[in-house]
């Protein structure tokens, strides 16, 4: 059984990926500092899979803490790296905090992999590396544009750090998954997206508005070049995304990767406007949402969606859940949280 370290494994995407990893037969060690996650998600993981993964509370940007983790948990064969500050708008206001946290985390993990013999690294990257593309959908060979936010730039620079490392350290191979907009929750409603404070992502804002926690849903901008003026994104189910990480890790462990660092777009492969998401949620939930249009948000791009053919042909992965499936699981998760 291969041992995998999942950084940020108690977070939204991390917790769903841990479920899929354990189901696939991997031994998992979670490291999380709970800055934007909840220890209760580990209880949810245990209830879903019947086994509790090892859990270490530590900060990936703190080298001493991570060194101790590697000493305490020998034989880590691979790392899936989620842990990062991730709010686009906040990163514009706090750029130094984002660069310090997100860059140091990657540097520390790769340094310890080299020193302790780790071989495989899967990086949680983002479609933000493409900026506002000239041609849609974007492929993995689309030009990388200047980032629209410090958060987006940490993903772009993170990829560059990994690229330079795998070229200098042949024992390490890596895959960067550039994913688009994951939504939804586990069908069991035992784990899901649980932002601390005001949500930065659309779907928890929608579900919190639907249950009355938020008085109104703010939609940032209606003057974009789209059918209804709202921004376009590629929304897909978080469980599909979680499975993509298992496919990527399997590829590395089997030695099927064609290059020391590979990139794959992970999304549904189609663009949907914010208002289309609102209408789809109202349909599956039966709840009419109170929303208002406000100004554009700093750091947001107008439209982006993925060409996923490379992931389909090379990883054997494809998003299979419908938008309605994803929205319904998000709604069921929110209702369970609120005892409804």
Pick the catalytic residue from 12, 98, 130, 151. 151
In angstroms, the CA 4 to CA 253 distance is: 11
- Domains with residue ranges and CATH for the chain: 3-183+235-266 (3.40.50.720), 202-233+269-337 (3.90.25.10)
The encoded tokens of residue 303 equal 């439209």
Give the three-state DSSP class for 2. Answer: coil
In angstroms, the CA 26 to CA 20 distance is: 9
Inter-residue contact 330 to 207 (CB < 8 Å): yes
Which of 92, 332, 334, 86 is closest to 214 using CA atoms?
Answer: 334
- pLDDT tens per residue across span 158-207: 999 999 999 999 999 999 999 999 999 999 999 999 988 888 889 999 99
Residue-level pLDDT at 298: 79
Q: Could you tell me the pTM of the whole model? A: 0.96
- pLDDT tens per residue across span 18-69: 999 999 999 999 999 999 899 999 999 999 999 999 999 999 999 999 999 9
- pLDDT tier at 85 (50, 70, 90 boundaries)? very high
- pLDDT tens per residue across span 95-113: 999 999 999 999 999 999 9
- pLDDT tens per residue across span 300-326: 889 999 999 999 999 999 999 999 999
218-233 exposure pattern, b = at least 16 Cβ within 10 A, e = fewer: ebbbbebebeeebbbb
How many other C-beta atoms lie within 10 A of the C-beta of residue 168? 11
In angstroms, the CA 199 to CA 180 distance is: 18
Find how far residue 193's CA is from the centre of its chain.
Answer: 11
User: What residue ranges in the chain does DSSP mark as E strands?
Assistant: 3-7, 27-32, 54-57, 76-81, 120-126, 173-179, 181-183, 217-220, 232-233, 235-237, 261-266, 272-273, 291-294
Whether residue 26 lies in the annotated active site: no
The sheet with strand 3-7 has its strands ordered as: 54-57, 27-32, 3-7, 76-81, 120-126, 173-179, 261-266
**Residue 296: pLDDT over 90:** yes
């Amino acid at each position: 059984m291969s041992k995998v370290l999942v950084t940020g494994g108690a977070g939204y995407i991390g917790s769903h990926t841990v479920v899929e990893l354990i189901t696939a037969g991997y031994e998992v060690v979670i490291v999380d500092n709970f800055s934007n996650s909840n220890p209760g998600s580990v209880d949810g993981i245990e209830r879903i899979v019947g086994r509790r993964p090892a859990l270490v509370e530590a900060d990936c940007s703190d080298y001493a803490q991570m060194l101790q983790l590697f000493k305490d948990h020998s034989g880590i064969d691979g790392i899936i790296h989620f842990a990062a500050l991730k709010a686009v708008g906040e990163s514009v206001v706090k750029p130094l905090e984002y660069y310090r946290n997100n860059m140091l985390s990657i540097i520390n993990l790769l340094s310890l992999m080299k020193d302790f013999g780790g071989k495989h690294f899967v990086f949680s990257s983002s479609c933000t590396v493409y900026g506002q593309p000239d041609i849609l959908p974007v492929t993995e060979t689309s030009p990388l544009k200047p980032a629209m936010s410090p958060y987006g730039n940490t993903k772009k620079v993170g990829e560059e750090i990994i690229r330079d490392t795998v070229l200098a350290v042949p024992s390490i191979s890596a895959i960067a998954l550039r994913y688009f907009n994951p939504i939804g929750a586990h069908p069991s409603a035992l784990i899901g997206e649980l932002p601390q404070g005001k949500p930065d992502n659309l779907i928890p804002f929608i579900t919190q508005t639907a249950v009355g926690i938020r008085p109104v849903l703010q939609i940032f901008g209606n003057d974009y070049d789209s059918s209804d003026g709202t921004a376009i994104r590629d929304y897909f189910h978080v469980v599909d995304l979680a499975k993509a990480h298992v496919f990527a890790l399997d590829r590395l462990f089997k030695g099927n990767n064609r290059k020391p660092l590979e990139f794959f777009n992970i999304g549904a492969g189609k663009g949907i406007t914010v208002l289309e998401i609102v209408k789809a949620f109202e349909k599956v939930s039966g709840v009419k949402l109170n929303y208002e249009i406000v100004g554009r948000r700093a750091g947001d791009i107008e439209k982006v969606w993925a060409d996923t053919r490379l992931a389909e042909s090379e990883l054997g992965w494809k998003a299979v859940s419908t938008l309605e499936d994803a929205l319904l699981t998000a709604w069921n998760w929110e209702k369970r949280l609120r005892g409804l």
